[in-house]
Structure 1
Amino acid sequence: MRSPDELDNVQWHALTHAYGSAEDVPELIRALYQDDEETAGEAIYELYGNIYHQGTVYPASAPAVPFLAHAVRHAPGKRDELLMLLAVLADHDPADVESPHWPGSSVAAICDELCRVLPDLLPCLDDGERGVRRAALRVVAAVAELLPAELGASVVVQLDRLYAADPVPAVRADAMVVLARLGRETAALDSPLPEVRLAAALLGMERSEPPYPADLVAVIAQDGAEPDPGDDDFPWSDTTTQEEQLTRLLTQDPDAGLTVAARWIAAGDLGSRGSWLAQNIAETWRDQEPEVLELLLAALPHQKDARALASRLRSIGHWIEHLPELGADLRDALHRYAGADDETAGPALLALVCSRDSRALELVLRHPTAQLLAAAARHFPEAVDQLIPVIRRELAAGATGNAGIALVGALAPFGAAARQAQPELADCLKTGRAAIVAARQLGLNGIQTPEVTDLLRNAAQSTDSSLSAAATVAHYQLTGDAGATLRAFERLLAAGGQTHWYLSSLQPLGSAAAPLLAFIEPLLGSGHQWTRMAAAEAHHWITGSPDRAVPVLAELVSPTPVGLRALKALAATGHVPEELRPTLRSFFFSPLRLLNDSPLSGQGHPDEELRTLARTLLTAD
C-alpha cells in the first residue's frame, strides 16, 4: 500500500485517464481521508468517472491501486465502495490472461498491483460490517486465478472460515463462489441456507450449457423467488449483479426460464422478477407468447403499484396480437383494468383493443387518445362511422407531435372514407402539425381543390426535405403535374444528405420519374446502406426492371432494420436469387428472435414480419 504522503512521487501529469491528464487524481485520493462523507462520496464518484469509465481502464488506473488500498484501511469511511472500485478496476475475463495482448495492458497492470496489496486487504474479510466483507470477497474474486500459490492457500483458509461460520448467509454464499473460483469445491447445493444453494445453482448454470440440469433449475425456482435486497450493491463482475446474471442465464433456456418464472410469480412475483423474466423470454425466443401471456395474467394481481401494473399491461398489449385465439379470462381481466381510474387504464384498454374484444370500442370512444384511436382503426376498420368523427374532432382540437401523426395515420385503414377528414388534413398542413403524414394522406385522398394544391405547392418548397418530398408527390397525385415534382426531387437529390428519407416517396410516380435515374443510379453504390436500399427500391419502381435493383437488395438482406426493408423491396420485385434461400430459411426456422421485438420499442413486431416474409418468399415459385 502507499499512503497519501507518496502521491507526489508519481508523475500523474504524464499519465492519462478518461478525460486526459491524470493530474486531478492525487486531489481526489486525498479527499478520501477527509472526515466528510459527502466529500469522500464525490471523490469516489469522480474516480469512477476517470480511472474507471464505463468499464474501461487507463494508464493512470494501476498507479492508483496501492493508494486506494491504503484508503480502504486508513480512510474514515466508504470502505465497501472503495473495495468495489478496486474489484471493478481489476475485472477481466480469465481467458484474457492467455491473450498476447494481456502483458502490458492497463488491466494486467491493475491486477499485478492488486495482487501485491491483497495481503493488506485480507483483514477486511473479517470486518464487522457485512458490506465490507462482501466487497472484500469481490476483490479476491477479481484476481483469484492470478494469486501466487502461497497467497491463494492462505486466502482459502480464510474463505473456508467465512463459508462455515459467517452469521450472514449472503456472505457465506459469496465465500462459496470465491472458493469455487480458487478451485476449492464445496457441497453447497445441499446447504441448509437458501442463499448458498441459490449461488451454487447459479454457479452450476454458468459452468453448463442449456438445457440446464433439472436439479439446478429446481433450486433456482425454489430459492430465487425472494432475492437478497443487498445483492444489487455488490456486482460480481463490472456492474453485473447476481440478479442480472441469473436472468441472462435463464433467458438462454426458455423452458427452464418459464418454469422458474411460473414459480416466482406463484410466490408473489416479488419485485416483478418472475414477470420480467417471462417478458425477457418472449423478447428473446419466438412462439413463447401463449405461455408468457398466461404468466403475465397470473402476475397482474401481485403488482405492488400502478406503475408496475401498467408495465405488465403494456407487455400484454404488445404480445397479445401474436395469439390467434384468446381466452375469456385474459380479456375479462383487461376489461376490468381498463375501467380503473389511474395510469393502468390506458395500457389495459390498449391491450383490450389489440385483443379485438368488442367491448374495447365503446371505451375508446368514451376516452379517446391518439394511440387508442390508431389501434382501434387498425383492429376495428368496420367501425369507420364511429371512429372517423372522433379522429376529426381530435385533429381539429390541435393535436401536435406524435399525437397528430398517430391520428393522421389512423385514417389509413379506412381507405376512401378518410376523405371525410380532408378539412382537418388541410389545416394540419397549413399549421405544420403532422405535416408530412398529412401531405401523404391528402395525396391518397385524391381530392383536388385550389386550397389543397396551393398548400402542397408551398410545402414542396420547405427546407425540410421529407416534407418537401411528400408534398410534391402528393401534388403530382392530385394534378398529374410531374414537372414540378421532378424539379423538386432534382433539387433534393443534388443536395445529398439523408436521401433515403425521401427516395421512398417516389413510388406513386412510377415511370414518370425516369428523368431522375441519372441521380439515383450512382446511389446504388453508396457507402450508406439505407441509401443503397432506397435507391434500389426507387430504381425498380421507375424502370419496372429488377436487373439493377435485385443484386443491391439481396446483398443488404439481413436481420436488421435496413435488411428487413431490403427484403420487403426484394419481395416486391418478384425475384429471389437462389443463393439467398439459405438465408431465408435461417430467418424462417430460427427459434430465436432475430430482430428486436421489445414491448418498449414502439416498432410493432419486426421479427414476425421478417419470418412471414421469409416464408412467403420460400414458398413462392
Structure 2
Amino acid sequence: MRSPAELDDVPWHTLTHAYGSAEDVPELIRALYQDDEDTVDEAIHELYGNIHHQGTVYPASAPAVPFLAHAAHHVPAKREDLLMLLATLADNAPGDTESPRRPGSSVAAICAELARVLPELLPCLDDTDRGVRRAVLRVIAAVAELLPAELRAEVLARIGGLYATDPVAAVRADAMVVRARSGISEVEALDSPLPEVRLAAAVLAAERSGPPYAPRLVEVLTEDGADPDPGDEGFPWPGTASPDQHLTDLLVQDPDAALTVAAGWIAKGDIGSRGSWIARRIMETWRDREPEALDLLLAALPHRRGAGTPAHGLSTIGRWIRHVPKPRTELRDALYEYARTEQEESAGPALLALTHSRDPRALDLVLRRPDPQTLTAAALSFAEAGGRLIPAIRSALAAGATGNEAIDLIGALERFGTAAGQAQPEVIDCLDTGRGAVVAARLLGRIGVPSPQATTVLLRAAASTDPSLNIAAAVAHYRLTGEAEPALRTFETLLATAKGPTHWYLAGLTPLGRAAAPLLPVIEPLLTARYDWTRMAAAEAHHAITGSPDRALPVLADLLSATPVGLSALKALAGIGEVPEHLRPTLRAFAFSPLRLLSDTPFSEDTHPDEELRALAWRLLTAG
C-alpha cells in the first residue's frame, strides 16, 4: 500500500485517464480521507469516471491501485465502495483477450499491483460488514491466479473458512464461487441447504457445461433464482455485468431452459420483472419462440398491478404479437378485456397490441376512440378496411395533426393503395403547410391522381432547401406528370454538391427508372465507392435505369450479409430476381438459422428485419 504522503512521488502529469491528463488523481485520492461524506462520495464517483470509464482502464489506473488499497484500509466507512472500485478496475473474465497474464494488456498492470497489496487487504475477510466481505472476495476473484503458490493456498484456506461458517448465506456463495474459479470444486454445493449457494453452484455448472443445461441445473435456477439477494452487487462474477445480467445471458443461450425458468419466476410473482425480461430476451434472440414467450408475458401481467399498471408488459406484447401469424385466442381475449377498461394507461397499450394481433374487435375500438397511433396501427393490420379507416385518418389530418403523428397518418394511408386518393386534399394541405411534408409528397406521387393543385404544390416543394423534400416532391411530380426534367435537375444538383455519402439521394431516384438515364455518368463511378451504402444504392439505381443486372449483381452480391446494408442488398437482389450460385449457402444460413441474425428497430413497423431477411432468402432459394 502507499499512503497519500507518497502521491507526489508518482509523475501523474505524464499519465492519462479517460479525460486526458491524470494530474487530478492525487487530489481525488486525498479527498477520500476527508471527514465530509459528500466530498468522499464525489471523489469515488470521479475516480469511477476517469481511471475506469465504461469498462475501460488507462495508464493512470494501475498507479492508483496501491493508494486506493491504503484508503480502503484506513477509511472504514467507505471500505466496501473502495474495494469494489479495486475489483472493478481488475475485472477480467476467463478467456478474455485482456487477460491479466497477457503481457501488455490494459488490465495486467492493475492486477499485478492488486496482487502485491492483497495480503494487506485480507483482514477485510473478517470485517463485520457483509458488503465488505463480499467486496474483498470480488477483489480476490480478480487476481487469485496471479498469487504466489503459498499465498494462494493461504487465501483459499481462509475463503474455505468463510464458505463453511460465515453467517451470511450470500457470503458463503461468493466464497464457493471464488474457490471454484480457483479449481477447488465443492461437489456438494448443488445440494446445499442454502439457496444462495445452490444458485451460485448452478450458474457455475451452466458456465462449465454450456447449453443445453441439465434438468437439475434448470430446476435449481428456477427454484432459487426467482428472488435475488438484494445485496448481490458484490457477487464475484467476471466482467462488469451484474449477477442477474450474467445469469440471464447464460439462460438465453438455451431457449428451452430459459422459458422454463422464466415461467417459474413469473409464477412466483415475477419479482423485478425478471421472468418477463427473459421472455423478451428470448424473442429478441431466437426465431419462432414468440408464442411461448407471449404466453409468459400474459401470465406476468397481473403481477404488474401492484406496481401500478401492466402498461409496460402490454407494450412489449404489442411490439411482438404483430410478428405472430396466428396469435392464440386466449391472448387476444385478454388484450380485448384490458383494452375495454377505463384505465387509459393500460387501455391504450392493450388496444395497440390487440390491433397488432389483427383481431377484428380492435377495429371497432379504434374507431370508437381514434388517435393517430391506433389509426396507424389499424392501417397496418386492416388494409382491407380502408372504407372505414380513411375517413378517420382524413379527420385527424384535417384537425391539424403535426410532427410524427402527421407522418404516421400519411404513411398509414399508403396501405390503402389508390383508395388513398380520397385523402388527396388533406395530403396536399399537409405538404403545403409543412406537416409531414416528405411523406406527403411521396404519397401524392404514389396515389397517382393528377390535379393542377397537386402538381403546383409538388413543384414548389421541389425547390425547397430540404434535400429529402426536394427528392420526394420531384419524383412525385414525375409520377403524376411523366415530366422527368424537374426531377433530373434536382438529382443533378444534389449529386454534384453532395459533401458526404450520397446513398439517400440515389435511393430516391430509382422510381424514375429509365428516365434517369442522363444520370448514369454520375452513378457508374459510385458502384466502386468506399462507403457500402453508397455502392448498394448505386447498384440498385443502375439496375433501375438500365434494366440490366450485369453491373449491379456483383456489387450487391459482395454486400450480402446479415447487416442492415446486407438486407438492403438482399431486397435489391430479390427485385432483380437473380442470385449468384456461390451465395446459396449464405441464403440457406439466412433462411434456416434458429437464431435471429438481425435485431428489431423502432422503424420496422410491420416486419421484423430478421423475418424479412429470412423470407427474402427463402424466396430466392425456392425461385432458383
Report the TM-score range of the alignment, normalised by the length of the smaller protein.
Answer: over 0.9
> What's 2:493 paired with?
491
> Which of 373, 376, 381 is the equivalent residue of 1:374?
376
> What's 1:149 paired with?
149
Moved more, 42-51 or 505-514: 505-514
The CA deviation string for residues 421-457 of structure 1, in whole angstroms up to 9 with x for no partner, is: 1111111111211111000111122233333222211
Q: Cα 1:306–1:166, aligned 2, differ >3 Å: closer, same or farther? A: closer
The CA deviation string for residues 385-427 of structure 1, in whole angstroms up to 9 with x for no partner, is: 2211111111122222221111001101111221111111111
Q: Cα 1:97–1:469, aligned 2, differ >3 Å: closer, same or farther? A: closer
- C-alpha displacement of 1:360: 0.6
> What's 2:77 paired with?
77
> What's 2:622 paired with?
619
Q: Aligned-pair RMSD on alpha carbons?
A: 1.9
3-state SS of 2:183 partner: coil
What is the CA–CA distance in structure 1 between the aligned matches of 2:605 and 2:40, rounded to whole Å?
42
Q: Cα 1:97–1:402, aligned 2, differ >3 Å: closer, same or farther? A: closer
> What's 1:272 paired with?
273
Q: How does 1:229-244 map to 2 (within 5 A)?
A: 229-232=230-233, 234=235, 236-244=237-245
Residue 289 in 1 paired to residue 304 in 2?
no
User: What is the percentage of aligned positions where both structures have the same residue?
Assistant: 68
- C-alpha displacement of 1:532: 0.8
The CA deviation string for residues 65-93 of structure 1, in whole angstroms up to 9 with x for no partner, is: 11000100112522111101100111123
Count of residue pairs brought into register by the alignment? 621
- C-alpha displacement of 1:344: 2.0
Residue 330 in 1 paired to residue 327 in 2?
no
> What's 1:16 paired with?
16
Q: What residue identity is the alignment partner of 1:533?
A: M
Q: What residue identity is the alignment partner of 2:23?
A: E
- C-alpha displacement of 1:487: 0.9
> What's 1:423 paired with?
425
What is the CA–CA distance in structure 2 between the aligned matches of 1:457 and 1:362, rounded to whole Å?
40
> What's 2:162 paired with?
162
Q: Cα 1:100–1:26, aligned 2, differ >3 Å: closer, same or farther? A: closer
What is the CA–CA distance in structure 2 between the aligned matches of 1:354 and 1:92, rounded to whole Å?
44
- C-alpha displacement of 1:305: 5.3
What is the CA–CA distance in structure 2 between the aligned matches of 1:98 and 1:109, rounded to whole Å?
11
Moved more, 208-217 or 312-321: 312-321
Moved more, 529-538 or 342-351: 342-351
Q: Where in structure 1 are there 5+ consecutive unaligned residues? A: none
- Say whether the 8 Å CA contact 1:597–1:603 is kept in structure 2: no
- C-alpha displacement of 1:100: 11
Q: Cα 1:200–1:235, aligned 2, differ >3 Å: closer, same or farther? A: closer
What is the CA–CA distance in structure 1 between the aligned matches of 2:540 and 2:391, rounded to whole Å?
36
Q: Cα 1:454–1:601, aligned 2, differ >3 Å: closer, same or farther? A: closer
- C-alpha displacement of 1:369: 2.4
- Say whether the 8 Å CA contact 1:33–1:76 is kept in structure 2: no
Q: Cα 1:334–1:541, aligned 2, differ >3 Å: closer, same or farther? A: same
> What's 2:559 paired with?
556
- C-alpha displacement of 1:549: 0.7
- C-alpha displacement of 1:268: 1.4
Q: What is the TM-score of this pair, normalised by structure 1? A: 0.97
- Say whether the 8 Å CA contact 1:235–1:241 is kept in structure 2: no
> Which of 383, 388, 391 is the equivalent residue of 1:389?
391
- Say whether the 8 Å CA contact 1:283–1:598 is kept in structure 2: no
> What's 1:608 paired with?
611
3-state SS of 2:354 partner: helix
Moved more, 268-277 or 376-385: 376-385
Residue 5 in 1 paired to residue 8 in 2?
no
- C-alpha displacement of 1:237: 3.2
- Say whether the 8 Å CA contact 1:418–1:445 is kept in structure 2: yes
- Say whether the 8 Å CA contact 2:527–2:555 is kept in structure 1: yes
> What's 2:404 paired with?
402
> Which of 438, 458, 461 is the equivalent residue of 2:460?
458
What is the CA–CA distance in structure 2 between the aligned matches of 1:598 and 1:308, rounded to whole Å?
25
Residue 315 in 1 paired to residue 328 in 2?
no
Q: How does 1:514-525 map to 2 (within 5 A)?
A: 514-525=517-528
Q: Cα 1:428–1:34, aligned 2, differ >3 Å: closer, same or farther? A: same
- C-alpha displacement of 1:598: 6.5
- C-alpha displacement of 1:591: 0.6
Moved more, 359-368 or 605-614: 359-368
3-state SS of 2:530 partner: coil
Moved more, 310-319 or 94-103: 94-103
Q: Cα 1:458–1:272, aligned 2, differ >3 Å: closer, same or farther? A: same
The CA deviation string for residues 330-378 of structure 1, in whole angstroms up to 9 with x for no partner, is: 1111011112313222221111011111111111112222221111112
3-state SS of 2:310 partner: helix
What is the CA–CA distance in structure 1 between the aligned matches of 2:257 and 2:622, rounded to whole Å?
34
What is the CA–CA distance in structure 1 between the aligned matches of 2:165 and 2:307, rounded to whole Å?
42
What is the CA–CA distance in structure 2 between the aligned matches of 1:419 and 1:253, rounded to whole Å?
50
The CA deviation string for residues 211-232 of structure 1, in whole angstroms up to 9 with x for no partner, is: 1122111110111111112224
What is the CA–CA distance in structure 2 between the aligned matches of 1:489 and 1:104, rounded to whole Å?
53
> What's 1:587 paired with?
590
The CA deviation string for residues 265-290 of structure 1, in whole angstroms up to 9 with x for no partner, is: 11111111111111111111111122
What is the CA–CA distance in structure 2 between the aligned matches of 1:285 and 1:569, rounded to whole Å?
26
Residue 542 in 1 paired to residue 545 in 2?
yes
Residue 577 in 1 paired to residue 599 in 2?
no
> What's 2:246 paired with?
245
Moved more, 572-581 or 596-605: 596-605
The CA deviation string for residues 12-65 of structure 1, in whole angstroms up to 9 with x for no partner, is: 111111111111000000100011111111101111111111111111111111
What is the CA–CA distance in structure 2 between the aligned matches of 1:19 and 1:156, rounded to whole Å?
38
- Say whether the 8 Å CA contact 1:315–1:599 is kept in structure 2: no
- Say whether the 8 Å CA contact 2:141–2:236 is kept in structure 1: no
Q: Cα 1:603–1:241, aligned 2, differ >3 Å: closer, same or farther? A: farther
The CA deviation string for residues 77-127 of structure 1, in whole angstroms up to 9 with x for no partner, is: 221111011001111234458979922444211111101110111111111
Q: Cα 1:238–1:93, aligned 2, differ >3 Å: closer, same or farther? A: closer
Q: What residue identity is the alignment partner of 2:220?
A: V
> What's 1:205 paired with?
206
Q: What residue identity is the alignment partner of 1:213?
A: A
Residue 363 in 1 paired to residue 358 in 2?
no
> What's 2:189 paired with?
188
The CA deviation string for residues 315-342 of structure 1, in whole angstroms up to 9 with x for no partner, is: 2222223333333211111011112313
What is the CA–CA distance in structure 1 between the aligned matches of 2:99 and 2:18, rounded to whole Å?
24
What is the CA–CA distance in structure 2 between the aligned matches of 1:212 and 1:193, rounded to whole Å?
21
Q: Cα 1:604–1:309, aligned 2, differ >3 Å: closer, same or farther? A: farther
- C-alpha displacement of 1:600: 9.6
Q: Cα 1:601–1:24, aligned 2, differ >3 Å: closer, same or farther? A: farther
The CA deviation string for residues 492-538 of structure 1, in whole angstroms up to 9 with x for no partner, is: 11122332213222233211110011111111111111111111111
3-state SS of 1:303 partner: helix
> Which of 460, 473, 476 is the equivalent residue of 2:475?
473
The CA deviation string for residues 543-564 of structure 1, in whole angstroms up to 9 with x for no partner, is: 1111111111111111111111
- Say whether the 8 Å CA contact 2:287–2:594 is kept in structure 1: yes
- C-alpha displacement of 1:483: 1.0
What is the CA–CA distance in structure 2 between the aligned matches of 1:381 and 1:95, rounded to whole Å?
52
Q: What residue identity is the alignment partner of 1:203?
A: L
Q: What residue identity is the alignment partner of 1:506?
A: L
What is the CA–CA distance in structure 1 between the aligned matches of 2:506 and 2:85, rounded to whole Å?
51
3-state SS of 2:322 partner: helix
